[in-house]
Amino acid sequence: MASHWRRIGIGLWLLGVAAAPLSGDNYVIKIATFVAFYGALALSWNFIGGYAGYPSFATAAFVGLGSYAGALCQNAGVPMVLSWGLAAGVTAIAAAALGFVVLRLRGHYFAIGSIALVEILSLIASWWSGLTGGGEGLNVTILPGGPVFIARFFLYAMLAIVVLALVATVLVERGRLGFGLRCIAQNEDAAEMVGVPTTLYKVLAFVLSGVFCGAAGAAYASWVAYIAPTDAFSILLTVKVPVMVLLGGPGTVFGPLLGSSALVLLEETVWARFLEFHQAILGAVIVALIFFLPGGLLGLAGRVRKSA
Amino acid sequence: MSALLELTGVSKRFGGIDAVRGVDLRVERGEIIGLIGPNGAGKTTLVNLITGVHRATAGTVRFEGADVTAQRPHEAARRGLARTFQIVQPFPQMTVLENVMAGSLFAGASATPAIAREDAMQHLERVGLGAQAHRPAAILTLPSRKRLELAKSLAMKPRLLLLDEVNAGLNTSEIDGALELIRSIAADGVTIILIEHLMKVVLSLSQRVLVLHQGALIADGPPRAVVDDPRVVEAYLGARFAARFAQHPTEASRA
Ligand SMILES: Nc1ncnc2c1ncn2[C@@H]1O[C@H](COP(=O)(O)OP(=O)(O)OP(=O)(O)O)[C@@H](O)[C@H]1O
Ligand SMILES: [Mg+2]
């Protein structure tokens, strides 16, 4: 996609989410906050899944870890935003350590290994009840202030995380790391032979895909003020985020934002009316993606322009 | 001064197969060496042992005096050990130019993608792919892919270039072009090990020829002497034919 179209798209997206409070409707603000939350997760997944081409299902592991780390810090008296920063740091360290293990695997094996991380961390959160409250969950200190203030605060907090993830994406894409990751996605052995330090780069991509999830997870925990293992380490979320990126256009800057907002809005509009079809719709989107949209919506835009 | 490359007792075993057995080899700076041997002799495996793709089961590999036996391929690339693949390995969805940029950026001297782009363009012009720079690598013909492999490894600023059958599948006029190119690369001071089945190419380029047979180095010397060596003839033709040719050594050398 031409870069000025891309910039316009990103600008409109940010403006649209930021302008949600103008509606004066708390429901709209809540949806916009979800759009930003999933936008941050999709941008995160894009580093490992889009640029490096590793089919990661570790998103919920990072989100869950970040939400517990942030909640525990906050409950221990650490100021809220600092807790999010610490949660991001904890998630980054965990991603680096886990990355060295699971990134030895390739293809389907990596996918299975990454989904196992979600299950393992979820089990730890359930068992270690002395720390995490176990299956009963954990209440998080509530931010003082009225509901209108709180709604806006968390919208802009999520949006700030999106902006950080966007900046990181643009820097990665323009630099050596992004180039090396694209080489890895296409032919890892050849990448190694031209001098790409593939293990280091994959771990860096995995850390980047973890750090913003950790921050967003912590912010989410503060927002909803309660977390439990099954919500924090949600298998549905770990599948949904890659679908969002594939829907928008993997390995691009705008694709993850486009795909995540499209899916959230689709779910919200259809959700209210056909509650029981929620999972079926996600399934239909996945099937449509596989058969009709290999390059995502951005790829479709490119094809339309070419044939015109 | 130490040799550019020095192998001592290098062996590689895959399961029950001894692909390379006890190879001792010194390569001096500026040499052009031909490496020949029948199919399955272990030539590609030897390249893989020198460039860190495989780790030797025994023996040591030294490059510029340093023990590099356990190096990873990307470390080899950064040290100046570049190789082309017998089975070409492009980045299919990247353009031809981006393929070469990768070599320049990660193993060559280019600090940024912008610098790598300029550098890569020059290497593409040199191998005659300038006009294809912006096309996807996946649509190149086989001879062009071989040239792309070469441009990519040139962009890596190699000290030692290992060419694994870069000329296979080329027609006569293309081979003449390739010979020219390899000579000019050598003239820039790059040491070259050339794996080839085409004797014409080996004889016209190499100052020294190595023969690998069933993983062992059975000959090492000037091209003519090596080609006339009865053990080499035997390796290629089998013992019975070798005995018959031994009575007509001039014919054997033409084979
Ligand atoms: N990765 C591997 N795993 C198992 N065996 C291997 C591997 N690579 C090579 N071999 C075996 O090692 C031996 C040497 O193979 P190699 O590819 O080095 O030969 P070559 O001289 O390059 O042959 P060619 O002229 O056909 O390219 C063969 O018997 C081959 O089957
Ligand atoms: Mg070979």
- What distance in Å separates the CA atoms of residue A46 and residue A76, rounded to the nearest whole number? 33
pLDDT at A227: 93
Q: Ligand 1 pocket: which residues have CB below 6 Å? A: B 14, 17, 19, 37, 39-45, 86
Among B157, B176, B198, the domain boundary falls at: B157
B141 and B25 within one domain: no
Confidence of residue B254 (pLDDT cuts 50, 70, 90): very low
With respect to residue B213, please indicate whether it lies within any of the assigned structural domains: yes
B171 and B240 within one domain: yes
Nearest alpha carbon, ligand 1 atom 31: B40
| CB spacing of A197 vs B93 below 8 angstroms | no
- The mean of the pLDDT values for chain B is 89
B231 and B179 within one domain: yes
Q: Is the pLDDT reported for residue B163 higher than 50?
A: yes
B73 and B165 within one domain: yes
Confidence of residue B253 (pLDDT cuts 50, 70, 90): very low
- At A58-85, the pLDDT tens digits run 999 999 999 999 999 999 999 999 999 9
User: Mind telling me how many Å the CA of B56 is from chain A's nearest CA?
Assistant: 17
- Say if residues A45 and A56 touch (Cβ distance below 8 Å): yes
B136 and B118 within one domain: yes
Confidence of residue A136 (pLDDT cuts 50, 70, 90): confident
> What CATH number has the domain bearing residue A282?
1.10.3470
Confidence of residue A135 (pLDDT cuts 50, 70, 90): confident
- At A8-45, the pLDDT tens digits run 999 999 999 999 999 988 899 999 999 999 999 999 99
B167 and B247 within one domain: yes
Q: Is the dihedral of CA A266, A270, A276, A281 positive or negative?
A: negative
Q: How many CB contacts within 8 angstroms connect chain A with chain B?
A: 71
- What distance in Å separates the CA atoms of residue B109 and residue B156, rounded to the nearest whole number? 8
Cα angle: B56, vertex B61, B65; to 5 degrees: 160
> What CATH number has the domain bearing residue B192?
3.40.50.300
Pocket test for ligand 1, best of B10, B21, B23, B44 (most atoms within 8 A of CB): B44
User: Mind telling me how many Å the CA of B112 is from chain A's nearest CA?
Assistant: 7
Q: How many domains does chain A have?
A: 1
B203 and B133 within one domain: no
Say which residue, B250 or A100, is predicted with more confidence. A100
With respect to residue B149, please indicate whether it lies within any of the assigned structural domains: yes
Matching residue, tokens 């693949």: B85
- What distance in Å separates the CA atoms of residue A9 and residue A39, rounded to the nearest whole number? 14
Largest CA distance in chain B: 62
With respect to residue B86, please indicate whether it lies within any of the assigned structural domains: no
End-to-end CA distance of chain B: 39
- Say if residues A244 and A260 touch (Cβ distance below 8 Å): yes
With respect to residue B42, please indicate whether it lies within any of the assigned structural domains: yes
DSSP string, chain A: --HHHHHHHHHHHHHHHHTGGGG--HHHHHHHHHHHHHHHHHHHHIIIIIIS------HHHHHHHHHHHHHHHHHTT--HHHHHHHHHHHHHHHHHHHHHHHTTS-HHHHHHHHHHHHHHHHHHHHH-HHHH-GGG-EE-PPPPS-HHHHHHHHHHHHHHHHHHHHHHHHHHHHSHHHHHHHHHHH-HHHHHHTT--HHHHHHHHHHHHHHHHHHHHHHHHHHHSEE-HHHHT-HHHHHHHHHHHHHH-TTSSSHHHHHHHHHHHHHHHHHHH-GGGHHHHHHHHHHHHHHH-TTHHHHHHHHHHHH-
Matching residue, tokens 């517990």: A68
Name the pTM for this structure: 0.90
- What distance in Å separates the CA atoms of residue A147 and residue B136, rounded to the nearest whole number? 54
- What distance in Å separates the CA atoms of residue B111 and residue B56, rounded to the nearest whole number? 33
B223 and B164 within one domain: yes
Q: How far is the CA of B213 from the centre of ligand 1 (A)?
A: 12
Per-residue CA distances from B81 to A265, B103, B240 (Å): 53, 12, 40
| Closest in B89, B98, B106 to A196, CB measured | B106
Among B114, B134, B157, the domain boundary falls at: B157
B165 and B53 within one domain: yes
- What distance in Å separates the CA atoms of residue B210 and residue A213, rounded to the nearest whole number? 56
| SS3 of chain B | CCCCEEEEEEEEEECCEEEEEEEEEEECCCCEEEEECCCCCCHHHHHHHHCCCCCCCEEEEEECCEECCCCCHHHHHHHCEEEECCCCCCCCCCEHHHHHHHHHHHCCCCCCHHHHHHHHHHHHHHHCCHHHCCCEHHHCCHHHHHHHHHHHHHHCCCCEEEEECCCCCCCHHHHHHHHHHHHHHHHCCCEEEEECCCHHHHHHHCCEEEEEECCEEEEEECHHHHHHCHHHHHHHHCHHHHHHHHCCHHHHHHC
Q: What is the mean pLDDT of residues B115-131?
A: 94
End-to-end CA distance of chain A: 15
- Say if residues B43 and B91 touch (Cβ distance below 8 Å): no
- What distance in Å separates the CA atoms of residue B76 and residue B99, rounded to the nearest whole number? 19
Q: How many domains does chain B have?
A: 2
- At B67-86, the pLDDT tens digits run 999 999 999 999 999 999 88
B168 and B76 within one domain: yes
B165 and B153 within one domain: no
Structural domain containing residue A94: 2-307
With respect to residue B25, please indicate whether it lies within any of the assigned structural domains: yes
With respect to residue B37, please indicate whether it lies within any of the assigned structural domains: yes
> Which one of A192, A193, A202 would you mutate to disrupt binding with B, by most B Cβ within 10 Å of its Cβ?
A193
B143 and B101 within one domain: yes
- At B183-232, the pLDDT tens digits run 999 999 999 999 988 888 888 899 999 999 999 999 899 988 888 888 87
Q: Which two tokens stand for residue B146?
A: 């071989």
Structural domain containing residue B110: 91-157
Pocket test for ligand 1, best of B17, B195, B236 (most atoms within 8 A of CB): B17
- What distance in Å separates the CA atoms of residue B94 and residue B133, rounded to the nearest whole number? 10
User: Mind telling me how many Å the CA of A162 is from chain B's nearest CA?
Assistant: 26
Among B122, B138, B157, the domain boundary falls at: B157
